[in-house]
Amino acid sequence: MKKTGLAILMAATLLSCNKENLQSKLPVIPTRPVVNYLPVTVTLDESHPGYKIPETFEGLSYETSLLVDSPEFLNENNQVLIQLIKNLGRGVLRIGGNSSDLTKWGWGPRTEKTPPKTLTTSDIDRLSAFDKAIGWPVVFGLNLGSGNAATAANEAAYVKKSLQNNLYVLQSGNEPDMFSTGPRTAKYNYKNYQYEWGEFFLAIRKETPDAPFGGPDVTPFNNEWITSFAANENKNIKLIDGHYYVTGPASLASINYNDILTQNTKLAAYLGTMHTEASKYHIPFRVSECNSVFGGGKNGVSDVFASALWALDFMWEVAGYKGQGINFHGGGRSFFYSPITIENGSFIAKPEYYAMLAFKYGAVGQTMVPITFTHPEYNLSAHACVNADGTYAITLINKEVESSFAFTIQLSKAASSVQVARLTAPSITSASTTFAGNMVNEDGTFTPNITEQYTPNQNTFVVNVPAGSAVVITIK
C-alpha cells in the first residue's frame, strides 16, 4: 500500500474512533411513542345559524342544608368562591336538593334557641348578600315533603323580599315523584302531587302575588310527570325543569369512569320531551340539578378528568335541545362531584369546573352552527358557534381513551387567525386539570394562557386532539 493510502486509512480510523467517543458522551434522549392520529373531517354550515345559548346557561346547585350547616360557604365574605363563580360569567344559582324537604322554616331570625335543621331569615339574608356579590338569579326550593302551605307562603314571601328581582323561580318539592318511598305512602302519584302543588301555589300567590314558579323538579327520565305538569300549570310557571344523573347510586362498586363516558341511551328522549313541552307552551326548560353519579358522586369517577369530558359534552347536549341551562349539584364536603369543593380549608376548582370554563369560552352567549363530522362510530363530539363579531368557536371532545384524532376543519371562508385552548389532564383518571394552558389560582382568579396560535389563511386546517381530551378553537 502506498504511503498516501495508508495515511488516509489511519485518518479515517481516527475520525471514526473520535466520533464513537463523542457519541458515547452525548445524553440519551428517550424515544417517545409514535401517536397515530386517526383522520376525522369536520364541516361547518355557517349559513344556517341556530339556537343562541343563553348567557345564564351555566349554573350551580346547592343543598338547602348548606345555608344552615355551613354559613361560611355561601357568604359575601367568601371572596375565593365569589371569584371562582365570577370566572364563569353570568349564571343561575339553585338552592334545593333532598334537604329542602327536610329543613323546616323558622319564621324569624336565628337565635340560640333555633332548633337544628331549621332555616331562618338570617340564612336567607346571608344568601341574598352572597347572591348580590355574584349577580346570579336564584332558583329556590320550598319544603313540600314535610312542610305545609301556610309555612311555605311565609317562607316564600321572605325569600322574595330578600332576594327581590334576583329570585328567578320557586320550586315546591325536590324530586316529588320519589315521595312514594317516603315521606308519602306507596300509593302517592302525580295527581296527589298536583293537588299539593296547587295548595302551595294558591297560598303563596295570596301572600306574594308576583311570586314566580317553576317545576316539576323530578328525577331523571320521568317524561310523564313533566308532560302532565306542563299541561296543567303552563300558565302559572316560567320554567320547566327536571334532574339528570348519568348513573348511580355511588355505592355501587361496579361503577367506573367508562360509565360516564359512554352515551346514555335515555338522555335524548328525556331532553326531547322537555324541549317539546317547553316549545309547546313557550316556556324555557332547565336541568336544574345534574351530575355524574347520584348519591354524592363516586371517588375516582366523579372527581377525575373523565368527569370534565362528560360535563362538557353534557352541556352541549342540553344546548342542542335548546335548553336554557344546567345546574351542577355539589357543595357538601362529602360530595365527590362538586365543581368547587373545600380541601384543607381552601376552595378548590375540580375537573368539572374546568369543563364549565371551556363551555363558557366556547359556547355561552354564542349562536350554534350546524356541524357534521365523519366517523360517528367513535366516541367523539364536535360543536360550533358563531359570535356577534363574526368569529367562530369550535369545541372538539375526544372521549376515546386510547385513540387520538386529527380533525380537519372545513370552513366556507378562509381563517386568518386560529387559537387552540386545550382541556387536558395527565390521564383520564387524574384530578389535575388545566384549560387554556392554565389552572385556577389560589385566590380563585383564572387567566387563559393560550400558546397555540396559527395564521393559516385558508378554509381548511388540522387540529390534533389526543386521546381523552378536548379543545376549544377560536377562529377569526
Q: DSSP characters for 258-288? A: HHHHSPPTTHHHHHHHHHHHHHHHT--EEEE
In a domain, 189, yes or no: yes
pLDDT tens-digit map of 99-145: 999 999 999 999 999 999 999 999 999 999 999 999 999 999 999 99
Confidence band of 19 (pLDDT split at 50, 70, 90): very low
In a domain, 442, yes or no: no
pLDDT tens-digit map of 334-348: 799 999 999 888 999
H-type alpha helices, 73-148: 79-86, 121-134
In a domain, 460, yes or no: yes
In a domain, 28, yes or no: no
Average pLDDT over residues 297-317: 98
Would you state the pLDDT for residue 104? Answer: 98
Is 395 found in the same domain as 321? no
Query: Which range (1-10, 259-268, 290-299) has the least confidence?
Result: 1-10
Is 228 found in the same domain as 374? no
The structural domain count of the chain equals 2
Q: Judge residue 140's burial from the number of C-beta atoms within 10 Å of its C-beta, 0-12 exposed, 13-18 middle, 19 or more buried.
A: buried
Would you state the pLDDT for residue 376? Answer: 86
- Select from 340, 365, 390 the last residue of a domain: 365
Would you state the pLDDT for residue 334? Answer: 78
CATH label of the domain that carries residue 189:
3.20.20.80
Contact 85, 331 (CB under 8 A): no
Would you state the pLDDT for residue 20? Answer: 39
Would you state the pLDDT for residue 65? Answer: 96
pLDDT tens-digit map of 167-178: 999 999 999 999
pLDDT tens-digit map of 67-102: 999 999 999 999 999 999 999 999 999 999 999 999
Domain span including residue 147: 59-365
Closest CA to 100 of 212, 20, 215: 215
Confidence band of 32 (pLDDT split at 50, 70, 90): very low
Would you state the pLDDT for residue 34? Answer: 53
Is 277 found in the same domain as 140? yes
CATH label of the domain that carries residue 384:
2.60.40.1180
Confidence band of 332 (pLDDT split at 50, 70, 90): low
- Select from 365, 385, 402 the last residue of a domain: 365
Is 261 found in the same domain as 166? yes
Q: Which three cell numbers stand for residue 317?
A: 347536549
Confidence band of 413 (pLDDT split at 50, 70, 90): confident
Q: How far apart are CA 89 and CA 358, in angstroms?
A: 12
Q: How far apart are CA 454 and CA 461, in angstroms?
A: 10
Residue 353 has pLDDT above 50, yes or no: yes
How high does pLDDT run on average in the chain? 92
Q: Which three cell numbers stand for residue 250?
A: 355511588
